[in-house]
Amino acid sequence: MSRTLVLVRHGQSEWNLKNLFTGWRDVELTEQGHAEAKAAGQKLKALGLKFDIAFTSVLKRAQVTCQHILDAVGQSDLETIRNVALNERDYGDLSGLNKDDARAKWGEEQVHIWRRSYDVPPPGGESLKDTGARVWPYYLHDMQPHVLRGETVLVAAHGNSLRAMIMALEGMTGEEIVKLELNTGIPIVYRLNADSTVASKEVLS
Ligand SMILES: O=C(O)[C@H](O)COP(=O)(O)O
Protein backbone atom coordinates (compact mmCIF):
# COMPACT_ATOMS: atom_id res chain seq x y z
CA MET A 1 0.00 0.00 0.00
CA SER A 2 1.56 3.26 -1.08
CA ARG A 3 -0.76 5.76 0.67
CA THR A 4 1.64 8.53 -0.36
CA LEU A 5 0.85 12.24 -0.45
CA VAL A 6 3.37 14.61 -2.00
CA LEU A 7 2.94 18.35 -1.36
CA VAL A 8 4.95 20.91 -3.34
CA ARG A 9 4.83 24.70 -3.17
CA HIS A 10 5.20 26.20 -6.66
CA GLY A 11 8.62 27.38 -7.83
CA GLN A 12 9.66 31.01 -7.38
CA SER A 13 7.16 33.37 -9.05
CA GLU A 14 7.76 36.80 -10.59
CA TRP A 15 6.11 38.38 -7.55
CA ASN A 16 8.11 36.26 -5.06
CA LEU A 17 11.17 37.73 -6.76
CA LYS A 18 9.79 41.28 -6.58
CA ASN A 19 8.76 40.73 -2.94
CA LEU A 20 5.09 41.53 -3.63
CA PHE A 21 2.04 40.12 -1.82
CA THR A 22 0.53 37.80 -4.40
CA GLY A 23 -2.44 35.84 -3.08
CA TRP A 24 -4.92 35.17 -5.91
CA ARG A 25 -3.07 37.27 -8.52
CA ASP A 26 -2.12 34.93 -11.36
CA VAL A 27 1.59 35.53 -11.95
CA GLU A 28 4.24 33.60 -13.91
CA LEU A 29 7.15 31.55 -12.60
CA THR A 30 10.62 33.08 -12.95
CA GLU A 31 13.40 31.18 -14.71
CA GLN A 32 14.58 30.08 -11.28
CA GLY A 33 11.01 28.99 -10.49
CA HIS A 34 10.87 26.77 -13.59
CA ALA A 35 14.25 25.27 -12.61
CA GLU A 36 13.06 24.64 -9.03
CA ALA A 37 9.95 22.87 -10.29
CA LYS A 38 11.98 20.68 -12.66
CA ALA A 39 14.43 19.88 -9.84
CA ALA A 40 11.49 18.90 -7.60
CA GLY A 41 10.41 16.48 -10.33
CA GLN A 42 13.90 14.99 -10.55
CA LYS A 43 13.97 14.42 -6.78
CA LEU A 44 10.63 12.61 -6.94
CA LYS A 45 11.81 10.59 -9.94
CA ALA A 46 14.90 9.56 -7.95
CA LEU A 47 12.57 8.16 -5.27
CA GLY A 48 10.93 6.07 -7.98
CA LEU A 49 7.53 7.63 -7.33
CA LYS A 50 4.71 7.12 -9.83
CA PHE A 51 1.58 9.18 -9.29
CA ASP A 52 -2.03 8.02 -9.66
CA ILE A 53 -3.54 11.51 -9.75
CA ALA A 54 -2.44 15.13 -9.37
CA PHE A 55 -4.20 18.13 -7.86
CA THR A 56 -3.39 21.80 -8.32
CA SER A 57 -5.00 25.24 -7.95
CA VAL A 58 -6.49 27.42 -10.69
CA LEU A 59 -3.38 29.64 -10.64
CA LYS A 60 -0.75 29.09 -13.32
CA ARG A 61 2.34 29.16 -11.07
CA ALA A 62 1.05 26.00 -9.36
CA GLN A 63 -0.21 24.41 -12.60
CA VAL A 64 3.10 24.91 -14.40
CA THR A 65 4.98 23.52 -11.39
CA CYS A 66 2.70 20.49 -11.42
CA GLN A 67 3.33 19.92 -15.12
CA HIS A 68 7.12 20.21 -14.75
CA ILE A 69 7.00 17.54 -12.05
CA LEU A 70 4.80 15.23 -14.12
CA ASP A 71 7.10 15.70 -17.14
CA ALA A 72 10.14 14.84 -15.01
CA VAL A 73 8.62 11.59 -13.71
CA GLY A 74 7.48 10.60 -17.22
CA GLN A 75 3.76 11.13 -16.55
CA SER A 76 3.02 14.21 -18.66
CA ASP A 77 -0.56 13.15 -19.38
CA LEU A 78 -1.61 12.15 -15.87
CA GLU A 79 -5.13 13.14 -14.81
CA THR A 80 -4.77 16.52 -13.08
CA ILE A 81 -7.60 18.16 -11.16
CA ARG A 82 -7.57 21.95 -10.85
CA ASN A 83 -9.60 23.44 -8.03
CA VAL A 84 -9.94 26.92 -6.58
CA ALA A 85 -9.96 25.38 -3.09
CA LEU A 86 -6.18 24.93 -3.42
CA ASN A 87 -5.50 28.57 -4.33
CA GLU A 88 -3.11 30.68 -2.27
CA ARG A 89 -4.59 32.54 0.72
CA ASP A 90 -6.37 35.65 -0.60
CA TYR A 91 -4.19 38.58 0.50
CA GLY A 92 -7.06 41.06 -0.01
CA ASP A 93 -6.03 44.72 -0.05
CA LEU A 94 -2.36 43.79 0.39
CA SER A 95 -2.23 42.01 -3.00
CA GLY A 96 0.28 43.71 -5.28
CA LEU A 97 1.94 45.72 -2.47
CA ASN A 98 5.64 45.37 -1.69
CA LYS A 99 6.20 43.50 1.60
CA ASP A 100 8.92 45.94 2.77
CA ASP A 101 6.75 48.96 1.91
CA ALA A 102 3.95 47.36 3.94
CA ARG A 103 6.32 46.96 6.91
CA ALA A 104 7.34 50.61 6.61
CA LYS A 105 3.68 51.68 6.56
CA TRP A 106 2.06 49.37 9.15
CA GLY A 107 5.08 48.16 11.15
CA GLU A 108 7.02 44.89 11.22
CA GLU A 109 4.81 43.29 13.86
CA GLN A 110 1.47 44.01 12.17
CA VAL A 111 2.73 42.68 8.83
CA HIS A 112 4.08 39.54 10.53
CA ILE A 113 0.67 39.00 12.16
CA TRP A 114 -1.06 39.32 8.78
CA ARG A 115 1.44 36.96 7.13
CA ARG A 116 1.85 34.27 9.75
CA SER A 117 -0.85 34.40 12.44
CA TYR A 118 -3.52 31.71 12.38
CA ASP A 119 -6.69 33.73 12.66
CA VAL A 120 -6.00 37.41 11.88
CA PRO A 121 -6.94 38.17 8.24
CA PRO A 122 -5.17 40.88 6.26
CA PRO A 123 -7.61 43.71 5.33
CA GLY A 124 -10.18 42.34 2.87
CA GLY A 125 -8.43 38.95 2.71
CA GLU A 126 -8.32 35.50 4.29
CA SER A 127 -6.64 34.37 7.52
CA LEU A 128 -4.91 31.00 7.50
CA LYS A 129 -7.98 29.71 9.36
CA ASP A 130 -10.23 30.93 6.52
CA THR A 131 -7.91 29.26 3.99
CA GLY A 132 -8.02 26.01 5.96
CA ALA A 133 -11.81 26.16 5.97
CA ARG A 134 -11.76 25.62 2.18
CA VAL A 135 -8.58 23.52 1.80
CA TRP A 136 -9.25 20.91 4.46
CA PRO A 137 -12.81 19.90 3.42
CA TYR A 138 -11.53 19.65 -0.16
CA TYR A 139 -8.67 17.42 0.99
CA LEU A 140 -10.99 15.19 3.02
CA HIS A 141 -13.58 14.87 0.27
CA ASP A 142 -11.51 14.81 -2.93
CA MET A 143 -7.92 13.84 -2.13
CA GLN A 144 -7.81 11.72 1.00
CA PRO A 145 -9.96 8.90 -0.47
CA HIS A 146 -7.31 8.40 -3.18
CA VAL A 147 -4.53 8.24 -0.60
CA LEU A 148 -6.44 5.81 1.63
CA ARG A 149 -7.11 3.56 -1.37
CA GLY A 150 -3.34 3.13 -1.50
CA GLU A 151 -2.62 5.60 -4.29
CA THR A 152 0.21 8.11 -4.69
CA VAL A 153 -1.13 11.66 -4.92
CA LEU A 154 0.65 14.84 -6.03
CA VAL A 155 -0.50 18.26 -4.81
CA ALA A 156 1.18 21.31 -6.36
CA ALA A 157 -0.15 24.40 -4.62
CA HIS A 158 0.87 27.43 -2.56
CA GLY A 159 2.70 28.42 0.63
CA ASN A 160 -0.39 29.13 2.68
CA SER A 161 -2.87 26.66 1.20
CA LEU A 162 -0.27 23.97 1.95
CA ARG A 163 0.48 25.36 5.43
CA ALA A 164 -3.24 25.07 6.19
CA MET A 165 -3.25 21.47 4.93
CA ILE A 166 -0.12 20.54 6.87
CA MET A 167 -1.53 22.05 10.05
CA ALA A 168 -4.57 19.76 9.87
CA LEU A 169 -2.61 16.71 8.62
CA GLU A 170 -0.10 16.93 11.47
CA GLY A 171 -2.56 18.19 14.09
CA MET A 172 -0.53 21.36 14.71
CA THR A 173 -1.84 24.16 16.92
CA GLY A 174 -2.36 27.80 15.89
CA GLU A 175 0.90 28.65 17.71
CA GLU A 176 2.89 25.87 16.02
CA ILE A 177 1.82 26.78 12.49
CA VAL A 178 3.13 30.35 12.88
CA LYS A 179 6.69 29.00 12.69
CA LEU A 180 6.22 26.79 9.63
CA GLU A 181 7.76 28.23 6.45
CA LEU A 182 7.57 26.38 3.11
CA ASN A 183 10.29 26.98 0.55
CA THR A 184 9.44 27.13 -3.14
CA GLY A 185 9.82 23.89 -5.11
CA ILE A 186 10.66 21.63 -2.15
CA PRO A 187 8.60 18.40 -2.13
CA ILE A 188 7.29 17.03 1.17
CA VAL A 189 6.53 13.30 1.01
CA TYR A 190 4.00 11.97 3.52
CA ARG A 191 3.16 8.29 3.98
CA LEU A 192 -0.16 7.82 5.72
CA ASN A 193 -1.47 5.06 7.96
CA ALA A 194 -4.75 3.29 7.13
CA ASP A 195 -6.47 5.46 9.75
CA SER A 196 -5.33 8.59 7.83
CA THR A 197 -2.74 9.66 10.41
CA VAL A 198 0.80 10.50 9.29
CA ALA A 199 3.20 7.51 9.33
CA SER A 200 6.24 9.41 8.05
CA LYS A 201 7.29 12.73 6.56
CA GLU A 202 10.31 13.44 4.38
CA VAL A 203 11.28 16.91 3.15
CA LEU A 204 13.29 16.67 -0.10
CA SER A 205 15.35 19.84 0.32
O1 LIG B 1 0.95 35.20 -1.72
C2 LIG B 1 2.13 35.51 -1.49
O3 LIG B 1 2.53 36.69 -1.45
C4 LIG B 1 3.18 34.45 -1.25
O5 LIG B 1 3.09 33.47 -2.17
C6 LIG B 1 3.09 33.87 0.13
O7 LIG B 1 3.24 34.94 0.94
P8 LIG B 1 3.71 34.92 2.47
O9 LIG B 1 5.11 34.42 2.53
O10 LIG B 1 3.57 36.36 2.87
O11 LIG B 1 2.75 34.03 3.20
Atom of ligand 1 nearest to the CA of 25: 1
The HSE-up count of residue 168 (CA atoms within 13 Å, CB side) is 20
Q: Which atom of ligand 1 lies closest to the CA of 160?
A: 11
Q: What angle do CA 88, 91, 94 make, to 5 degrees?
A: 145
Burial class (CB in 10 A: 0-12, 13-18, 19+), 47: middle
pLDDT digits (tens, 9 = 90+) for 151-205: 999 999 999 999 999 999 999 999 999 899 999 999 999 999 999 999 999 999 9
What is the residue range of 135's domain?
4-203
Beta carbon of 22 within 6 Å of any ligand 1 atom: yes
Residue 56 β-bridge partners:
82, 156
105 CB neighbour count, 10 Å cutoff: 11
pLDDT digits (tens, 9 = 90+) for 102-160: 999 999 999 999 999 999 999 999 999 999 999 999 999 999 999 999 999 999 999 99
Residue 68's pLDDT is 98
Contact between residue 161 and residue 131 where contact means Cβ atoms under 8 Å apart: yes
ipTM of this predicted complex?
0.96
Residue 22 has pLDDT above 90, yes or no: yes
Annotated binding site: 9-16, 22-23, 61, 88-91, 99, 115-116, 159-160
Q: Would residue 88 show up in a list of annotated catalytic residues for this protein?
A: yes
Q: How far, in Å, is the centroid of ligand 1 from the Cα of 191?
A: 27
CATH number at residue 126: 3.40.50.1240
How many structural domains is the chain composed of? 1
For residue 31, indicate whether it is catalytic.
no
63: phi then psi, degrees, rounded to nearest 5:
-65, -45
The answer to pTM > 0.95 is yes
| Distances from the Cα of 42 to the Cα of 9, 70, 71, 111, angstroms | 15, 10, 9, 36
How confident is the model over 61-90, as pLDDT tens digits? 999 999 999 999 999 999 999 999 999 999
Distance from first CA to last CA of the chain, Å, rounded? 25
